[in-house]
Amino acid sequence: MIVAGRYRLVARLGEGGAGTVWRAHDELLHRDVAVKSLKTAHADLAIAEARAAARVNHPAIVVIHDVIVENGAPWIVMDLVAARSLDRVIKEGGPLPDERVAAIGLRVLEALDAAHAHGLLHRDVKPANVLLDADGQALLSDFGIAAQLDGQMNSAGSPGYMAPERLRDEPAGPASDLWSLGATLYAAAEGKPPFQRALPAAVVAAVLMAEPPAPAHAGPRLAGLLSAMLAKDQKRRPSSAEIRTALQAVVAGRDHSVRLGRRPWWPVAAGVAAVAVAAGVFLMTRDSPDTGRFAAAPDPCSLLTLTQVQTALGGQVTAERAGTECTWNHRRRGTVWRYVVVRLTAYPPGNGRGATETARLAFAGLRARADSDAGVTFTKASASPSDRTGLGDEAFAQGSYDSFAKKATSMVWFRIGNLVAEIDCAKLDSRETRRGADQAATLVAARLAGTGT
Contact status, residue 224 vs residue 270, Cβ threshold 8 Å: yes
124 noted as active-site residue? yes
Contact status, residue 400 vs residue 324, Cβ threshold 8 Å: no
Running DSSP on this structure, what letter comes out for residue 385? Answer: P
Nearest to 13 by CA among 28, 31, 33, 39: 33
Instruction: Give the phi and the psi of residue 144 in degrees, each rounded to 5.
Output: 80, 0
Nearest to 184 by CA among 62, 83, 86: 86
- Distance (Å) of CA 372 to CA 267, 272, 351, 404: 11, 16, 26, 21
Q: Which residues pair with 23 in a beta bridge?
A: 11, 34
Contact status, residue 51 vs residue 65, Cβ threshold 8 Å: no
Question: Residue 412's CB: how many other CB atoms inside 10 A?
Answer: 25
Tell the burial category of 391 from Cβ atoms under 10 Å away from its Cβ (0-12, 13-18, 19+).
buried
Within 8 A by CB and 6+ apart from 348, the residues are 291, 292, 355, 358, 418
Contact status, residue 250 vs residue 206, Cβ threshold 8 Å: no
Q: How far apart are CA 174 and CA 161, in angstroms?
A: 14
Residue 325, classed as helix, strand or coil, is strand
Q: How far apart are CA 421 and CA 447, in angstroms?
A: 12
Running DSSP on this structure, what letter comes out for residue 61? Answer: B
Contact status, residue 227 vs residue 216, Cβ threshold 8 Å: no
Nearest to 181 by CA among 65, 275, 86, 256: 86
Catalytic choice (66, 98, 113, 124) = 124
Q: How far apart are CA 248 and CA 239, in angstroms?
A: 14
Residue count of the chain, please give it. Answer: 453
Within 8 A by CB and 6+ apart from 21, the residues are 12, 13, 14, 15, 34, 35, 36
Within 8 A by CB and 6+ apart from 2, the residues are 8, 9, 27
Residues forming the active site: 124
